[in-house]
Amino acid sequence: MNPRFTQVLALTLIAPVMGACVHPNQYKKDLAETRQEIQQERTDRIAGDSANSQAIAAVKGDVQSLRSDMDAMRSEFNAKITALEDGIKFDIPVNFAYDDATVRDQDKAALDRFAAITSKYYGGSKVTIEGFADPAGSKQYNLALSQRRADAVRDYLSGKGLDMSVLKTIGYGKTRLVNPSASKDDPGAEQNRRVTFVIETAPGSGSPTASAEGAATAGQQ
């Protein structure tokens, strides 16, 4: 039972007994103040419920918008977006020429869109940029080359407004190959010379939609 209602009930019950020691005007004043406090609590509770409903509606709106933006990335740039347990993986066709770490002009539109989505929905979340190389060359050389590719993309995204402090880079060399037998000018070798992105979405890392649940809602592919 609400404690304020209990207090009103108690005042009502003990009033006749205390009539000889409590002035009627004081009793009426106490009762009126208690009723006023109960009414204020009710008003505050209604306002709180309304605020919660508005917050839930805002989150739902963000998720709908996120789904739309990610669907557009899939259709326009052939991106593969996968919801992970604690993040989201973006496999976007951002590739490199053989033995080169320069961001190509034809890939800048996809990177621009990725930067916009990250800023809008995942502000403050850590973004790991993973670089890769094709099988040609030594292990150590390809590790360094893939690191330079990841760093080049990081610098480009930083120029598009992403905070450098949340952009982490790592080079994986010729591991995790898309086409293991393709290198240099072989068909499909370009797919090995790429970068991928992982956005961490642990609780507290950003907006309400920056969660594994929000990522899953946006769809998996």
Inform me whether the pLDDT recorded for 63 exceeds 80: yes
Asked whether 215 and 203 are in contact (CB, 8 A), the reply is no
Does residue 27 fall inside a structural domain?
yes
Residue 55 lies in a domain: no
| pLDDT, greater one: 139 or 203 | 139
42 and 71, same structural domain?
no
The predicted structure's pLDDT at residue 220: 43
pLDDT above 70 (res 126): yes
Burial 148-176 (b: 16+ CB within 10 A, else e): bbbbbbbebbeeeebeeebbebebbbbee
Position 36 confidence tier, pLDDT thresholds 50, 70, 90: confident
- 40 and 132 housed in the same domain: no
Looking at the structure, tell me whether residues 80 and 184 fall in a common domain: yes
Q: Is the pLDDT of residue 61 over 70?
A: no
Asked which of 58-62, 159-163, 211-215 is least confident by mean pLDDT, the reply is 211-215
In a domain, 85, yes or no: yes
Q: State how far the Cα of 168 lies from the Cα of 96, in Å rounded to an integer.
A: 19
Section 75-94 average pLDDT:
93
Query: Structural domain of residue 41, as residue ranges?
Result: 3-50
CATH assignment at residue 130: 3.30.1330.60
* Same structural domain, 40 and 105: no
Instruction: Identify whether residues 83 and 21 lie together within a single domain.
Output: no
Does residue 56 sit within a domain? Answer: no
Backbone angles phi, psi at 161, to 5 degrees: 110, -5
Q: How many residues does the chain have?
A: 221
The pLDDT of residue 9: 45
Q: Which of 17-21, 55-59, 92-96 comes out lowest in average pLDDT?
A: 55-59
| pLDDT above 70 coverage of the chain, percent | 69
CB 83 within 8 A of CB 120: no
Tell me, yes or no, whether 107 and 160 share the same domain. Answer: yes
CA 212 to chain centre: 8
On whether both 36 and 104 belong to a single domain, the answer is: no
pLDDT for residue 25 is more than 70: no
| Residue 126 shares a structural domain with residue 177 | yes
Clarify whether residues 78 and 110 are in a common domain: yes
Domain check: are 121 and 193 in the same one?
A: yes
Q: How many domains does the chain have?
A: 2
pLDDT category at 218 given cuts 50, 70, 90 is very low
